[in-house]
Structures are given as C-alpha cells and as structure tokens.
Amino acid sequence: MPPAAPPELLCPELLSLDYREAMLLQERLRDACIASRGRTNYLLLVEHPATITVGRRGTYSDVLASDARLAELGVTVAETNRGGEVTFHGPGQLVVYPIVHLRARGRDLHRFLRDLEGWLVRLCRSYGVPAHADSPHTGVWVENRKIASIGIAVRRWVSYHGVALNVSTDLTGFDLIVPCGLRQVEITSLERELGSAPPMGEVAERAAEYFAEDFEMSLERAPVERFATA
C-alpha cells in the first residue's frame, strides 16, 4: 500500500486581529479540525493590538498598571482559557495559533509543548539567535532572557491558542505585568538580540514552513476567505 498522505495544514497570510476576534476564529477552526479527525489542521499567524491576557493560572495581581494607565496607553485586558499566567501581546510580536490534532503525536501534551519549543528554537537559530528551551520553564530563551512564550489549550485532543515570539515588539509593554509569573525576568526580541528586526512577513513565512516540516504536515497557503467558512 502507498504511504498515507500527510495531514494538511491550512495557513492564511499574516493577519492583524483583535484578540477576541482571533479567539472566535480559533474556536471555529478547532471544531472543524475535530470534525475532520485531524485530516485538516490550521495555522494562524497573527499580530494583535496591545493586549494583556490572563490565562487559567493567571491572577490580576500580576497586572501591575492601573486601569486608568492601561486606558491611557490603549492596552486592553482579556481573560483567556489558555494555559499559563499573564502575558503581553502587541504589534511586532508574531503570535502563532496551531490548531492541530494531537492523535498523530500520541495524544501527548507534554511532547507537543516540547516540540513547539524545538520549532521556535529552530526558527530563532535560523536568524543567528542562540535560543534554547529551559525545562521546566515553558518557553524559549536566549541565555536568561525570554524571547517566546507558550500557552495552549486542548479540546478533544485538538490544540488551540499557541505561542508568542517577540520580533520587534515594544518590550516596555512587559513592564505592565509580571510576565508568566516570573518576577525580574528579562524579556528580549529578535530585534534586541540582532540589532535590527527581520521583516515580520518573512518571519511568519519561515515559521509556517518550519512548522509544517517539524510536524510532518502538508502546508497549503489558503486564502483567508476559506477560513471564514471553515
């Protein structure tokens, strides 16, 4: 018998979405992935406006700025059902939402997290940034500086939510919070490590290509209109 075709990974162009819009889109695609039994998976590449998100293990005491200060800065706060604590999203940060069935990966959530870290490490190193994972701390680091955060959720063995990689993010946004519950942690970005930022579109394209390779899927650059009806 010929080998089975790899599952498809549908990925639109880089999107600019409000956090709640992205959440609703993820939920639709998650349900579509469940219905397909993992034959069709999705990868969303997104930039968000300035947003603080509070995960399942998060506490509002880790939001250090007052409501008035956040309003002055134009930063919104959103509760979310992803794992993890409090983090910051903003322009210049590549947020990737893999909506994939974990059946083919042994329904092993810890393996999936480690694989996400490995994919991000590969992506950073492709730009000459010596990133690494730092178990048991989930995420990706450059020496002791955190460059990418991970927070996922799973329903019926389909993942959603995902990762945030700082490309050219205004890192002062992280001063508004205790990032991921880690006090005194230093946050970095590709721009800070390299002295200049690679183009966001290029990073997003490379992220999608590496993801498909590392997770053994067939990448299809689907137009966003196809996602609207998924």
Catalytic residues: 180
CA distances from 133 to 122, 150, 162 (A): 11, 11, 16
Cβ within 8 Å of residue 19, ≥6 positions away:
48, 49, 51, 53, 76, 78, 80, 89
- Supply 185's token pair: 């942690």
Looking at residue 192, its amino acid is: R
Whole-angstrom distance, CA of residue 32 vs CA of residue 230 = 6
Half-sphere exposure of 174 (CA within 13 A, CB side): 23
Residue 99, H or E segment: strand 93-99
Q: Are 163 and 207 in contact (CB under 8 A)?
A: no
Spell 139-176 as b/e; 16+ CB within 10 A means b: bbbbeeebbbbbbbbeeebbbbbbbbbbbbbebebbeb
- Supply 40's token pair: 């069709």
Sign (positive or negative) of CA dihedral 131, 134, 139, 142 = negative
